[in-house]
């Protein structure tokens, strides 16, 4: 299939391009590089041995995005482009709503006008808020999002569901097919160690913080709280290897091909690890120390969040293959080989 990948130079997008090409799909990437580097795509080309048509385009730029969509006649769009830093979104709400909401609205309109009404969207487990029960199934009601980033994901899910519903109500002969993928906590990197997550400034997320401590760029990890109602008191999350996550997108094309209407899938492993579990696994697998200090709880954090990923297995035949050991190994390989990210 010919696939438009928005945000394809980013962390999850670049890994997904590899898996799409490996499965025989034709990929075109658009990205404005606000949080990524074209070098990532060059490295992907080296891994796959295939060229990636790339357009440096902001998805809010209707004319430019229309030109690309019109030219290629895509079968599906996989939509990663967006701003994603939870903390930053609290201080820059307008920028987050403008980029994520306006960008997606323009993209959806352009896709529709060009008769490509198939989209796979990067959503997040954050839409569940503080879940009443774990593991979280797709039936769990959405919760309260405590930050503008989470709001954009929740709102965009709603926008897309409403658009699909309108097509059904009006018996549109070419209705939208929409797959909403709720990611849990992606970590890890491609096994080559040549691409990976490359946060700007001091990382907010656990694994990039750990790898930067391990490589000596940061002194010690701060663990946000040790008094949660969890086995060791630290927060529990469902970490998923980014390559498994990428493959989840390839498998989701099956739902699109089967004209799914709207489908929602959790992409996680179903296993929860605490912060201390991750630190220990990282130290053991990689033979490096990760000094840490216990700090106050971080505002907005919840105790436990892990998925029931069985729907994706039943409907798409997808399940995560890698465990915490591979996640720690590959995150470290990327960081060790590229202490300054994509700076060459």
| Residue 235, contacted partner among ligand NAD, ligand UDP, none, CB below 5-8 A by kind | ligand UDP
Q: In the structure encoding, which two tokens stand for residue 173, read together? A: 């002969």
Dihedral sign of CA atoms 289, 291, 294, 295 in order:
negative
Q: What, of ligand UDP, ligand NAD, none, does residue 34 touch, CB below 5 to 8 Å by kind?
A: ligand NAD
99 touches ligand NAD by CB under 6 A: yes
Q: DSSP strand E in the chain: where?
A: 2-6, 26-31, 54-56, 76-79, 118-124, 177-183, 185-187, 221-224, 236-237, 239-241, 262-267, 273-274, 292-295, 304-305
Distances (CA, A) of 334 to 10, 30, 42, 311: 15, 24, 16, 31
Number of residues that bind ligand NAD (CB under 6 A): 26
Q: Choose, by CB under 6 A, the member of 18, 27, 76, 82 that binds ligand NAD.
A: 82
φ, ψ (nearest 5 deg) of residue 80:
-100, -25
Query: Site residues for ligand UDP, window 198-237 (CB under 6 A)?
Result: 204-206, 209, 221-224, 235, 237
Q: Is 55 among the residues that bind ligand UDP (CB under 6 A)?
A: no
149 is a catalytic site residue: yes
Using a 10 angstrom Cβ sphere, with 0-12 exposed, 13-18 middle and 19 or more buried, the burial of residue 112 is middle
Report the partner that residue 35 touches, choosing among ligand UDP, ligand NAD, none (CB closer than 5 to 8 A by kind): ligand NAD
Q: Which of 175, 173, 153, 149 is nearest to 164 (CA)?
A: 175
Query: Exactly one of 11, 149, 239, 273 is catalytic; which is it?
Result: 149
| Partner in contact with 210, chosen from ligand UDP, ligand NAD, none, beta carbon below 5 to 8 Å by kind | none
Q: In this structure, what token pair is assigned to residue 240?
A: 């998923």
Identify the CA nearest to 14 among candidates 179, 194, 272.
194
15 binds ligand UDP (CB under 6 A): no
The binding track of 172-211 with respect to ligand NAD, each residue x by CB under 6 A or -, is -----------x--x-------------------------
> Closest separation between CB of residue 131 and ligand UDP, Å?
12
Q: How far is the CB of 61 from ligand NAD (least distance, A)?
A: 8
Query: What is the distance between the alpha carbons of residues 48 and 41, in angstroms, rounded to a whole number?
Result: 10
Q: Which residues bind to ligand NAD, rule: CB under 6 A? A: 7, 9-13, 31-36, 58-60, 80-84, 99, 103, 122, 124, 183, 186
Catalytic residues: 149
């Amino acid at each position: 299939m010919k696939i438009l990948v928005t945000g394809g130079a980013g962390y999850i997008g670049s890994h997904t391009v590899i898996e799409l090409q490996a499965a025989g799909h034709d990929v075109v990437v658009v990205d404005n590089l606000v949080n990524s580097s074209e070098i990532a795509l060059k490295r992907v080309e080296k891994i796959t041995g295939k060229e990636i048509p790339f357009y440096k385009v902001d998805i809010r730029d209707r004319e430019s995005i229309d030109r690309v969509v019109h030219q290629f006649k895509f079968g599906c769009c996989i939509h990663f482009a967006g701003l994603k830093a939870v903390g930053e979104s609290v201080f820059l709400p307008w920028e987050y709503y403008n980029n994520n909401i306006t960008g997606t609205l323009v993209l959806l309109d352009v896709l529709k006008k060009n008769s490509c009404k198939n989209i796979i969207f990067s959503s997040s487990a954050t839409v569940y808020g503080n879940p009443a029960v774990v593991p979280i199934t797709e039936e769990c009601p959405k919760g309260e999002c405590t930050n503008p980033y989470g709001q954009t994901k929740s709102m965009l899910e709603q926008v897309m569901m409403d658009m699909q519903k309108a097509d059904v109500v009006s018996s549109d002969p070419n209705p939208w097919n929409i797959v909403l993928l709720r990611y849990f906590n992606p970590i890890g990197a491609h096994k080559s160690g040549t691409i990976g997550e490359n946060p700007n400034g001091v990382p907010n997320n656990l694994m990039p913080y750990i790898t930067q401590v391990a490589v000596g760029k940061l002194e010690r990890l701060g663990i946000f709280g040790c008094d949660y109602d969890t086995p060791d008191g630290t927060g529990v999350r469902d970490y998923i290897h980014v390559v498994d996550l990428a493959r989840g997108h390839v498998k989701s094309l099956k739902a699109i091909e089967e004209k799914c209407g709207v489908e929602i899938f959790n992409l996680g492993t179903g296993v929860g690890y605490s912060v201390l579990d991750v630190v220990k696994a990282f130290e053991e697998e990689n033979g490096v120390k990760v000094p840490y200090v216990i700090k106050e709880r971080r505002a907005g954090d919840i105790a436990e969040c892990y998925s029931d990923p069985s729907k994706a297995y039943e409907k798409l035949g997808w399940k995560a293959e890698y465990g915490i050991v591979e996640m720690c190994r590959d995150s470290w390989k990327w960081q060790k080989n590229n202490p300054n990210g994509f700076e060459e």
